[in-house]
Structure 1
């Protein structure tokens, strides 16, 4: 049976402090969680009842075993995950300094990480072609063999191979520590964009992909590159989505922020759920915004992903439109 959502790329163990508002040097205890943006997006979609899976690689170590166990717990298919002998599963540390300061420290990713050792030869191209949504990130393009594997996956998702209701999403998650320059990243993104139907990013990420400009100018450039839905996050002003004949802005859903790191991944998983449900674009954005807000109000990322009931309750509480129930997909 085809997956509703198949993501590809980064996975790690998130090590988050239990002490809020304290620098890492002074933290006394930590919690351990599943992490990595594509992994979190898969979990978020599973929370909304979607059949999700991830293509990635871990180290051949206890942390890798832990990540498999967590994916099982969340109902995410881990059959496309293999271990890389000789490499360690990455760990990501974060300081929790609300409301806006959440610095990340990556360990085990330099000079390479297991999830950057995904090879084109090991891809299940049939599963990639058949998935309702295929989701990848710019980070996956930063290094070989992952770069060639992502290109092969996107070639399999060529527009002529897609059916109605299928989408190919590129998360424009540019992280400068993984790249030599912005120009290098822009060159690689340009190779992928012709096969992308949805691109999602904030102002800086869109600027790396298609150049500086207003949100509308950046969205227009993404559409000119072949994207069908350009989603530009506007920070405190919410999020805008633009197609060739529609422009929608969704206002933010205010919450007291505890940890903003997982909000974008919750947004992504909920956005995919809304697309697959066939909702109007404005409703998709509102639902995704509320999902992201709920995770921002919680400590962890994967463990904090909300259920449809929680999202709908928040939307109703804030006087926003609540989507009609979706028939169970499991």
Structure 2
């Protein structure tokens, strides 16, 4: 019998958000300290909704690592698989907030702890204790984490754990953005569910660096040229059971082999900060999936969580609770 609903694997960081919303990055006077990283955000969002979650990430032997662990413990997220990796540093991110459309990011990930997760760290995980596992694309960007993630995926499959991929494309974390697609394509067919934005799905099949444009250092919001329908078809051909395409304010779409596209409407809101919206979506979607909801209702739940988080200042620290989401949707037509 599973002891945990959800395991997330990969990135964690201290996130320093501009305290001067609307100020150009060079004019920021102060920052607020939160935590972040795709897997940590998803774990937090899922835990607050009511799932029992655990995380595999790495921290350095430093005060930032203590900051991250303290947050996880306060949230009730299992941290026994969060190793302190000597000789590394805990990751950090600095973020600007210039709504409605400028959200620059600066990563500090040289020799960061989470990219040094190893085969031994994965081997310590009791995969039979988890119902589902969420992997993030960035964890595949470098070794030893890359090999550790392939091994974790292999072990999860052996233990019949539902495997979910949050594509999580961050171009500057790869030695060549085309390497992202080459690596992810080797893993796609092993996942039960793949979740990504249109840009992330296009990035998975990026063949020319000229297709990629990042304005104002918005690493999380690249502009990518390509044929989205063809990219979706390619993903479905490798054996993915369910593909969820996040389409921003338009909501999301569900694709399954031999089935027509299912469009799931979103929840229009006024945007303060788009960072973390995709992670909130994955938390809400995972909650629905693991509670036996229909795919439509699960994606609608993801849309609601994403809509809530874009109205708030940050990511993990601001993830909504189940009651908050239900109150939100009850005033907007329900799930």
Structure 2 length as normaliser, TM-score? 0.89
Which residue does the alignment assign to 2:19? 18
Answer yes or no: is 1:308 the counterpart of 2:307.
Answer: no
Give the Cα–Cα distance (whole angstroms) in 1 for the partners of residues 125 and 113 of structure 2: 23
SS at match of 1:168: strand
Q: What root-mean-square deviation, in Å, do the aligned CA atoms of Structure 1 and Structure 2 show?
A: 1.7
Which residue does the alignment assign to 1:86? 87
Which residue does the alignment assign to 2:291? 277
SS at match of 1:231: strand
State the shift of 1:183 in Å. Answer: 2.9
Which sits farther off after the overlay, 22-31 or 291-300?
22-31
Give the Cα–Cα distance (whole angstroms) in 2 for the partners of residues 121 and 96 of structure 1: 39
State the shift of 1:295 in Å. Answer: 0.7
Which residue does the alignment assign to 2:188? 193
Over residues 142-164 of structure 1, what are the superposed CA-to-partner deviations in whole Å (9 max), with x where a residue is unaligned?
11100110010111123x641xx
Q: 1:289 aligns with which of 303, 307, 310?
A: 303
State the shift of 1:129 in Å. Answer: 4.3
Answer yes or no: is 1:179 the counterpart of 2:174.
Answer: yes
CA contact (8 A) 1:128 1:134 kept: no
Which residue does the alignment assign to 1:101? 102
Q: 1:230 aligns with which of 200, 222, 243?
A: 243
State the shift of 1:127 in Å. Answer: 2.2
State the shift of 1:216 in Å. Answer: 4.2
Answer yes or no: is 1:40 the counterpart of 2:41.
Answer: yes
State the shift of 1:171 in Å. Answer: 1.1
Give the Cα–Cα distance (whole angstroms) in 1 for the partners of residues 19 and 326 of structure 2: 29
CA contact (8 A) 1:171 1:201 kept: yes
Over residues 72-126 of structure 1, what are the superposed CA-to-partner deviations in whole Å (9 max), with x where a residue is unaligned?
111111111111222221211111111121111112x12x311000001221465
Answer yes or no: is 1:51 the counterpart of 2:52.
Answer: yes
Which residue does the alignment assign to 1:328? none
Q: 2:202 aligns with which of 202, 207, 219?
A: 207
State the shift of 1:214 in Å. Answer: 4.8
SS at match of 2:245: strand
Which sits farther off after the overlay, 215-224 or 116-125?
215-224
Over residues 223-270 of structure 1, what are the superposed CA-to-partner deviations in whole Å (9 max), with x where a residue is unaligned?
211111101112332211111235321122111111110111110111
Structure 2 gap segments, 5+ residues each: 207-224
CA contact (8 A) 1:42 1:53 kept: yes
Pairing 1:144-159 to 2, within 5 Å after superposition:
144-158=143-157
SS at match of 2:301: helix
CA contact (8 A) 1:45 1:272 kept: yes
SS at match of 1:96: coil
Give the Cα–Cα distance (whole angstroms) in 2 for the partners of residues 126 and 74 of structure 1: 20
Q: 2:267 aligns with which of 231, 239, 253?
A: 253
Give the Cα–Cα distance (whole angstroms) in 2 for the partners of residues 129 and 188 of structure 1: 26
CA contact (8 A) 1:125 1:156 kept: no
Structure 1 length as normaliser, TM-score? 0.91
Give the Cα–Cα distance (whole angstroms) in 2 for the partners of residues 131 and 209 of structure 1: 27
CA contact (8 A) 1:45 1:270 kept: yes
